[in-house]
Structure 1
Amino acid sequence: MIKLGSLLLVLVLVLSLAGCAEKTPAVETTLVVGSSEISGNFLSGFGDSAYDVWVRELISGYETYSTTPTGEIVLNKTVVKNLKTEIDTVGNKTYTFDLHKDMKWNNGTVVTAKDYVFYILWYASPAWTEAGATSTVGEGLIGYQDYYEGEVDRFKGVKLINDYSFSVTIDAEELPYFFETNYASFIPAPMAVWAPGATLDINADGAKIAGLDLVKTASTVATTERFKPTVTSGPYKFVSFENSAVTVKINENFKGTFENKKPQLTYVVIKSINMTTDVDQVINGEIDLVTGVIEGEKIEKAKASKTTSVNYYARNGFGGVFMHCDFGATAIPEVRHALAYLMDRDEIISNVLGGYGSVTNGYYGLAQWMYTKNKAAIDAFPHFVRNIAKANELLNQTEWKFEADGKTSFDPAKANAAGTYLRYNAKKEKLVIKHFGTEDNTVTDNVEIQFKANTPLAGIDFTIARGDFDALLDNYYYAYELKPEERVYHSYNLATNFGATFDPYYSFHSDFLGTWQNANQVNDPELDALMIKMRSLEPTQVTEFSAAWLEFQKRWYEILPIIPLYSNQYYDVFGAGVKGVNTTPFSTWAAIICDISK
């Protein structure tokens, strides 16, 4: 049986840093980018928003594999001088990386193979987990599980050869894997800064970090470098996170992206703003760039303005109502499906997106090649439309099928818009749904309108709370840590984007129950098997992967951890003086920061 590999963290780390000029700018320039609330987690593994990821993309570099703007995963030859792969007699596959010798950290010290080996050992260590991080770095390699769980203190599948060469060996039991290069995708971590005085101890049993208390050191990094990284490898270096704004400055020691290009802007500021007026702020010159604009009214305003330009592309993701599948009423599939029938998705899309999006029927985005190949089959899935009778039919199959006495059958004909006639179970407990949405958000507004109008007609006691984005993420990702009596919310309106690698194993497999990665807390053996089937293919088995993807979508639709609402076109709106915002479904503005000038 194939062991289970690593990808969530790697997905972020292999994002490419593409485009730009070769010289440090002679005149200082600053790009100000608008965002929602920034969590402040600038090291991977602590749950974060897309805005934290932007910062990591700006300050991280020298990845062994990069993602191009078209979604192709390529060897980063700016980093890797030579790559050798070999398979032994039992099927283990070794990747040996010979590195270039001219890579530097932002403080001018040299990046070596030790920093890559240290990165793997650090992120895969139980000490990092004890510090509160979740990581999948190193999964798939020989000896990962024993090292990760603390059974041994050496990682068998990792080897430091010399100052500029290291190797990793993928366990034969992990192969084939459709996205195999993800097992060999790494960035460096600054060993001398995170673990001063440490050494790497290498012998026939593997590699380990020696010479310090790793648990204590990991805890220190998790409370310092996590929030204020000091030594970094990307095109920019961290300056500050103050007054809801992150400032980074050009890293003069950055060698270049996988295309051998360097940054042009002196400073980049990511600033939390009122997203209701984000496009207006670009038009008025208060900020330079906002991304991922989806509202039709805003898009039309930006296109009509003489002070702005736009770049648009099909979204590699979707928006929906995300539910916890282990808590209260939303633990029941029939309730989740009933909620899908208690909203008019077309009306939401019309109100929010105008003509710039469409309904979706699964866990995909319009830019995914798998969707393009399977479009007819996916579009043939039954559509969720507002259907009060269907919702009541589904709810009658659950424990909430009685009136307040817990005995008399619920009569849908008595349900009313005022919500005075509700569903109860035999314990006389009401059917309650508590939703959390962000403030100043048109999607939240429209989800509230739909649910408040329709849930009473199915006997549901629905309430909604609003807060900032950081509070929403904290509740969504970490509610599993609370006692059942302390938990509050069942559902959230959110959106997600996919990388070039699509491996939902890391989001829905039961191996990740009780972690923030499986935030919906899905536990479905049939879905588990389909996700393993998808990933257990050779990289060349594209047709088979596409077919397995469709099977996955069908089962996902049946259990419905998320009510899919829309996929759409993203519009990035920027001041007329900003150049090079050539974003794509696979490259954010931060990933192509070196293309951007002002």
Structure 2
Amino acid sequence: MTKSAWSRILFAAMLSLVLVLAACGGGDKKDDGEKKDDKDTSDKTEEKSTEGEFSYEDFDQTVANTGDPSGTGTLKVGYTSDTPFEGTLNWAFYQGSPDATMIGYFDEAVFSMDADFQYTQDGLITYEVDEDAKTVTFTLAHDAKWHDGTPVTIEDYVASYEVIGHPDYDGVRGSDEGFTLIEGYEDYQAGKADKISGIEVKDDKTAVFTYKELAPSLTAGGFWAYAFPKHHYEGVEVKDMAASDQTRKNPIGIGPYKVKSITTGEAVILEKNKDYWRGEPGMDGIEIKVIPSSSIADAVEKGDVDVALSFPTDQYPDVSEMEGVEWLANIDGAYTYIGFKLGEWDADKKEVNYKPEEMKMGDKELRRAMWYAMDNDAVGNKFYHGLRWKATSLITPYHANWHSDVEVPEYDPEKAKQILADAGYEDVDGDGFVEDPDGEKLEIKFASMSGGDIAEPLTNYYIQSWKEIGLNVVKTNGRLIEFNSFYDMVGEDDPEIDIYQAAWGVGSDVDPSGLYGRKASFNYPRYASEENDDLLKKGNSTEAFDVDYRKDIYNQWQELMVEEMPVIPTLYRSYVIPVNERVKNWSEEYGFNEDTLLYRVGVDE
């Protein structure tokens, strides 16, 4: 999806802290994140291999066609995907980035965000922090209406916390400190209280939140970024909201365009919201259609779509000279990784049950050997022509001032073989594959997603790399897995998955607890440790308002993740996006710029 200012908060929401799923949730995450102070985002560069053919730094971030939009015409958006979008079209309930993309075109954040990933006072809601009282006063600064004409009130913002924190809420948000630090939130979540004691609605425009302590992430995406249309869900129980018609068939928002029709899993047709609070939108409407990766370039070239979101980076070299199209690019707030199943999710306690001693991948030496067997520099150049490159830390160069150059295993298959031998993995029966230290057959089931021309070759590349060091890695169920099914299986800790290949989109806050915290449902490896708990807590404590302190904590955390290896980061990413020359004001720049907000985008007819 576009990373222009209007969707920057969308990404923040992807992960309740960070993003989400290849997908992402909150704040979003999220896949689905945020940071502050000396965060210079003007130079989000990272030293990487120069063997690649392209670099995102050589592209523009905003189209040349700028100026006042006409107010007419229809923007045709293609969302590149080989699977239907799920259709859970509300920020509180969605899980995958396809749904997040669709929502982002009709509902928007109540806060804006600058290039330093800090909430500003330019949004629908402003905020005032009282450090002494540990309160934040939220004020509805403008008159706005939901798409059904109902006025937005501050209670709609409060309703987001009440729904996500409700005992019957079964979504993936609400576990990060943007929620749990509010006084009374945890009692409310546990069903011990009928309301959140730390939230007081003063009038239709004002609410005061009292926190147990203030954390640095709050103003960098920690405040939940979206209002919830309380009236729209009147009479619907919280447990039924995600599957309701209000979410799936007739969702509403506060954005410049409103839903006219939905073709389940395939398309969303939007029309102008004439009551949009910032002013008249620049077009009559927007048509968003899911287009397979094999067809997206042709659709762009024929003019069937004006903008192609999630354009396959590997296809760019073949179509880079396409006429009538301007290519934009930027560093992506995302990374791909190999995850290891080290436990399971305890639904009753709503936390990770880390039990490596019972899991096939619980041996760190086995995981370490697999890392040494992976040549991710070659992967970035071979499959992505330099537009993706070898990852090291789980804090990406997207968060330039927080990313640490930690030492990680370099490609060395001979060293990988030695690590396995030293740990007791030997080929006992001479079939070319090692047995485990107990002499038992070792078959590692690898889940990877279908979609795009390189999904299968890339998966096979890793399987072959591990085969060369004597590991028998096979595809889960013998095939690649469709996106929605893949995340269902990973999230439900399917026993047919030992390892998996996935991606996270990170949000605005650097805080990684929404992905790797003990109580984070997105912690798919199911990793937990006291040291991890301690560092994540310190990283978002009051002491962490001191930027140097926070950097030191997150440096320690990045080193811990290399030592523990619940996941192996594989590639950092940039993205390219083709935009038809008739499109006006489209931008991939980060930070608030009213000239490139969605309502200012137009098309020349």
The TM-score range, normalised by the shorter chain, is 0.7 to 0.9
Equivalence for 2:17? 7
Q: Mean alpha-carbon deviation: is it higher for 139-148 or for 53-62?
A: 53-62
Instruction: State the structure with more CA Rg.
Output: 1
* Whole-angstrom distance in 1 between the partners of 2:137 and 2:293: 46
Which structure 1 segments of 5+ residues have no match?
197-213, 405-413
* Whole-angstrom distance in 1 between the partners of 2:399 and 2:129: 30
CA contact (8 A) 1:436 1:467 kept: yes
1:187 aligns with 2:239: no
Deviation at 1:151, TM superposition (A): 1.2
1:316 aligns with 2:321: no
Equivalence for 1:160? 201
* Whole-angstrom distance in 1 between the partners of 2:591 and 2:505: 9
1:111-130 to structure 2, matched below 5 A, reads 111-129=152-170
1:374-413 to structure 2, matched below 5 A, reads 374=404, 377-378=405-406, 381-385=407-411, 387-396=412-421, 400-401=425-426, 403=428
CA deviations 1:314-337 (Å, max 9, x no partner) are 222222323323274233322222
Equivalence for 2:502? 494
What amino acid sits opposite 2:72 in the alignment? V
* Whole-angstrom distance in 2 between the partners of 1:304 and 1:57: 30
CA deviations 1:70-120 (Å, max 9, x no partner) are 24323344523x644435xxx541222332462111111111122222222
CA contact (8 A) 1:423 1:460 kept: no
Equivalence for 1:41? 88
Q: Mean alpha-carbon deviation: is it higher for 40-49 or for 541-550?
A: 40-49
* Whole-angstrom distance in 2 between the partners of 1:585 and 1:395: 44
Residue number among 500, 514, 517 corresponding to 1:509 in the alignment: 517
**Residue-pair matches, total:** 531
Structure 1 residue runs of 4+, over 6 Å off?
A: 13-16, 18-24
1:479 aligns with 2:492: yes
CA contact (8 A) 1:370 1:549 kept: no
Deviation at 1:233, TM superposition (A): 1.6
Equivalence for 2:294? 276
**1:395 partner SS:** helix
**2:248 partner SS:** coil
Equivalence for 1:286? 304
1:427-438 to structure 2, matched below 5 A, reads 428-438=440-450
Residue number among 573, 588, 600 corresponding to 1:583 in the alignment: 588
Deviation at 1:444, TM superposition (A): 4.0
Deviation at 1:45, TM superposition (A): 5.0
What amino acid sits opposite 2:371 in the alignment? A
* Whole-angstrom distance in 1 between the partners of 2:589 and 2:67: 23
Q: Using a 3 Å threshold, how does the CA distance of structure 1 residues 77 and 592 change in structure 2: closer, same or farther?
A: closer
CA contact (8 A) 1:403 1:423 kept: yes
CA contact (8 A) 2:17 2:507 kept: no
Query: Using CA pairs below 8 Å that are at least 6 residues apart, which structure has the higher relative contact order?
Result: 2
Equivalence for 2:394? 363
1:536 aligns with 2:571: no
1:235 aligns with 2:256: yes
* Whole-angstrom distance in 1 between the partners of 2:194 and 2:149: 32
Q: Using a 3 Å threshold, how does the CA distance of structure 1 residues 422 and 539 change in structure 2: closer, same or farther?
A: closer
Residue number among 102, 113, 117 corresponding to 1:67 in the alignment: 113
* Whole-angstrom distance in 1 between the partners of 2:376 and 2:452: 20
* Whole-angstrom distance in 2 between the partners of 1:222 and 1:456: 46
Residue number among 379, 383, 386 corresponding to 1:348 in the alignment: 379
* Whole-angstrom distance in 2 between the partners of 1:320 and 1:25: 44
Equivalence for 1:249? 270
Q: Using a 3 Å threshold, how does the CA distance of structure 1 residues 62 and 504 change in structure 2: closer, same or farther?
A: closer
* Whole-angstrom distance in 2 between the partners of 1:73 and 1:364: 18
CA contact (8 A) 1:101 1:164 kept: no
Question: TM-score normalised to the size of structure 2?
Answer: 0.78
1:462 aligns with 2:462: no
CA deviations 1:484-524 (Å, max 9, x no partner) are xxx21223332222222111111111123xx3x21221112
Q: Mean alpha-carbon deviation: is it higher for 236-245 or for 156-165?
A: 236-245
CA contact (8 A) 1:263 1:594 kept: yes
* Whole-angstrom distance in 1 between the partners of 2:205 and 2:321: 53
Equivalence for 1:79? 124
CA contact (8 A) 1:21 1:264 kept: no
* Whole-angstrom distance in 1 between the partners of 2:557 and 2:528: 14
1:50 aligns with 2:81: no
* Whole-angstrom distance in 2 between the partners of 1:242 and 1:56: 14
CA deviations 1:117-173 (Å, max 9, x no partner) are 2222122111223xx55434632111111111111112100111112221111113x
What amino acid sits opposite 1:57 in the alignment? G
1:299 aligns with 2:343: no
Residue number among 528, 534, 539 corresponding to 1:523 in the alignment: 528
CA contact (8 A) 2:222 2:509 kept: no
CA contact (8 A) 2:74 2:287 kept: no
CA contact (8 A) 1:190 1:232 kept: yes
Q: Using a 3 Å threshold, how does the CA distance of structure 1 residues 223 and 519 change in structure 2: closer, same or farther?
A: farther
Q: Mean alpha-carbon deviation: is it higher for 457-466 or for 542-551?
A: 457-466
What amino acid sits opposite 1:73 in the alignment? Q
Question: TM-score normalised to the size of structure 1?
Answer: 0.79
1:325 aligns with 2:342: yes
Equivalence for 1:562? 567
1:205-220 to structure 2, matched below 5 A, reads 216-220=237-241
CA contact (8 A) 1:79 1:100 kept: yes
Deviation at 1:344, TM superposition (A): 2.2
**1:166 partner SS:** strand
Residue number among 437, 445, 451 corresponding to 1:439 in the alignment: 451
What amino acid sits opposite 2:531 in the alignment? E
CA contact (8 A) 1:35 1:290 kept: yes
* Whole-angstrom distance in 2 between the partners of 1:430 and 1:100: 61
1:146 aligns with 2:162: no
Deviation at 1:451, TM superposition (A): 1.6
* Whole-angstrom distance in 2 between the partners of 1:151 and 1:283: 58
Deviation at 1:43, TM superposition (A): 2.3
Equivalence for 2:146? 105
Give the RMSD, CA atoms, in angstroms: 3.4
**1:557 partner SS:** helix
Residue number among 238, 242, 247 corresponding to 1:226 in the alignment: 247
Deviation at 1:555, TM superposition (A): 0.9
* Whole-angstrom distance in 2 between the partners of 1:186 and 1:447: 36
Deviation at 1:581, TM superposition (A): 2.5
CA contact (8 A) 2:69 2:602 kept: no
* Whole-angstrom distance in 2 between the partners of 1:302 and 1:597: 25
Deviation at 1:15, TM superposition (A): 10
Deviation at 1:189, TM superposition (A): 1.4
What amino acid sits opposite 1:384 in the alignment? E
**1:127 partner SS:** coil
* Whole-angstrom distance in 2 between the partners of 1:266 and 1:21: 18
CA contact (8 A) 2:399 2:510 kept: no
Q: Mean alpha-carbon deviation: is it higher for 46-55 or for 24-33?
A: 24-33
CA contact (8 A) 2:428 2:439 kept: no
* Whole-angstrom distance in 1 between the partners of 2:92 and 2:526: 17
**2:533 partner SS:** helix
